[in-house]
Chain A
Amino acid sequence: MTAPGVTTQTVPAPAKPSGKAARRIKDNLTGHAFLIGAVVCFALFMWYPMIRGIVMSFQRTRRGETTWVGWDNYTRIVADPSFWIAWKNTFLFTILALVVGYVLPFFVAILLNEFRHAKGYLRILVYLPVMLPPASALFLFKYYAYDPSEAGLFNAILKFLHLPTSEWMQSPTMTIPAMVIASTWMNLGSAVLIYLASLQNIPGELYEAAELDGAGIWRRIWSVTIPQTRLILALLAMLQIVATMQLFIEPLILANGAGTQDSATSVAYLIYQHGFFQNDLNGAAALGVIMLIVLAAFSAVYVRLTTKQD
């Protein structure tokens, strides 16, 4: 593994002794010319909106007139009975999705990597759901799998196996697990492919050596596979958390929004609801700022943990 921090030194470009300063200015200009496109886009769609979001969260726009309202938007957002429920649901989903959606593809990838037959077939199978538009995959679950009557696919199977059936999205306790199942099914493929790619870069000698030392399969996974794919594992964990915190389309489609008594409401859905159902963009911006702070705290912890290990 090449440590990302290690970079080579730039060889100073051969310059004529005269006009050194002019030369440096020119070099700088060239460098910034290459940067400008990306910087403009970052400025427009990342840096500026971040500041704008914070400003908006302290304002209120009514009849085209904007006024400063202090913490009003925040107190209103926090006093909303759905606020804490949404956070609870979002965390629960994130944790469950991490346990299932993050660990499962790793083992699927290890398994697929061992097979000498049917490799292409299995790989395509796993990737098939990724190729459905996300809305389509969720409609498949909503209409067929999670139908609460016995006409539903899951209930028909459960009944066939003489197991108790469920009302799925209509049952407050099943709402989040059901969203995790659907979300894992539709997203598993990408993670498996990325893991597979990184598994193929592990030198075979390492396994050889570990085996000679008498390490069993689990031991080899623990002491060879995981360390060798550590960077990818850490990267995907972060991406996974950031992605699942944004839980939105699953409640929107599977639960037609909030679900039964807010059992599907997520923070992201609440932002959408405030902004676009309740005509309260400022409140939605305040909720966005709260989410930003929570994630900033989380990433500080993450950076702390990962840098300590190195």
Chain B
Amino acid sequence: MSRTLISQAQLRRGRGRFLYWAVLAVVVAGFTLVFLGPLYWMVTGALKSGQEIAQTPPTLWPRDPQTQNYVDAWNNLDLAKLMFNTFYYAAGAVFFQLVFDTAAAYALSKLRPAFGNVILAAMLATLMIPAMVLIVPQYVTAIDLPIIHVNLLDSPWAIWLPLIANAFNIFLLKRFFDSIPEDLIAAAQVDGASPLRTLWSIILPMSRPILGVVSIFAVTAVWKDFLWPKLVMPSPETRTLSVGIYAFSGGTPQNVVIAASVIAAIPTVIIFLLFQRNIMSGLTTGSLKG
């Protein structure tokens, strides 16, 4: 373990040692309460009946656990379908962002075609434009793409294509590629490697951490987005989890909505627990350094 803000030695001695354990205890207790507490409330709240929810003061443990709420949530909201959609969109988003954004960043960093800088500037200019500003024109574009007149509603492309237009990812990737020495590439070219070959067998293997970061951002973007999928995925069959749960909330008892939320979180929690180490090390090495 490398040295951090406070030295190891200081924490091992007398007062420092006591303080360390005291602060740790407070933080562990506090964080458990703040972050796990509401989730406990959620899991048990979904087991309460409508009457019990409205009771004062609230009960800590459901008196008469209604497991039926979870069964209803699973069946009535068609959660399996919603989960599948969400993971499908996320997987596609990772794939297409990796393919197109990497290719673009590679071109801008190493191939540098004419007008490359102009294109890069035009891309970076969109960094400060929040999705909300363009939501209406983007929407009318998605329902009738210019020139080819195709309607993207209810098609996963409506989620994937706009995500490729991600200046932040291209910026991150380009910055990382910039730091890869030109000599390596020149050497490869002398050996007769094509640009694609160079990208595939020299650049990409060196770029694993940043590719990991881009993938994490892609998944998070799909997971967190709400209004865009709500607009472009209007059918119940194509909704994402977040939109689906919202859509059903209007005509479903509260307990069932909460039960659905609990179930929806389980796969992600498992995935995070499994890949926690990779995600952290990816973020650490992935050029996010100051």
Contacts and interface: CB of A to CB of B under 8 A. Distances in A.
Nearest to B6: A114
Interface string B1-31: 1111111100100000000000110011001
A116 B1 contact: yes
Contact of B290 (A129, A139, A232, A245): A232
B5 A221 contact: yes
Contacts of A124: 272-273, 276
Contacts of A47: 122, 126
Contacts of A203: 2
Contacts of A295: 128-130, 133
Contact of B132 (A8, A145, A233, A291): A291
User: What does DSSP make chain A's interface, helix, strand, loop or mixed?
Assistant: helix
Contacts of B240: 133
Residues of A in contact with B, size category: 35 or more
Contacts of A239: 168
Contacts, number: 346
Nearest to B128: A299
A42 B122 contact: yes
A9 B34 CA distance: 51
Interface stretch (A74-82, A170-178, A204-212, A257-265): A204-212
Interface in A3-39: 4, 7-11, 13-14, 27-32, 34-35, 37-39
A161 interface: no
Residues of B in contact with A, size category: 35 or more
A180 interface: no
Nearest to A2: B179
A207 B5 contact: yes
B136 A281 contact: yes
A113 B199 CA distance: 36
B24 A117 contact: yes
User: What does DSSP make chain B's interface, helix, strand, loop or mixed?
Assistant: helix
B201 interface: no
B41 A46 contact: no
A167 interface: no
Nearest to B147: A44
A150 B182 contact: no
Interface in A88-119: 110-111, 113-118
Contacts of A46: 126, 129, 134, 165
Interface in B158-202: 161-162, 164-165, 168, 170, 175, 178-179, 181-183, 185-186, 189-190, 195, 199
A279 interface: no
A4 to B, nearest CB: 6
Nearest to A149: B56
A13 B28 CA distance: 58
Nearest to B181: A8
A123 B31 CA distance: 10
A201 interface: yes
Given A35-B104, A208-B3, 17 more contacts: A38-B104, A45-B138, A50-B134, A50-B137, A129-B35, A131-B268, A132-B264, A135-B226, A137-B261, A149-B54, A156-B56, A185-B35, A198-B289, A238-B128, A243-B130, A267-B132, A288-B137
Interface of B: 1-8, 11, 23-24, 27-28, 31-32, 34-36, 38-39, 41-42, 45, 53-58, 86, 99-101, 103-104, 106-114, 116, 119, 122-123, 126-142, 145-146, 161-162, 164-165, 168, 170, 175, 178-179, 181-183, 185-186, 189-190, 195, 199, 220, 223-224, 226-227, 231, 240-243, 245-246, 249, 254, 257-258, 260-261, 264-265, 268-269, 272-273, 276, 279-280, 283-284, 286, 288-290
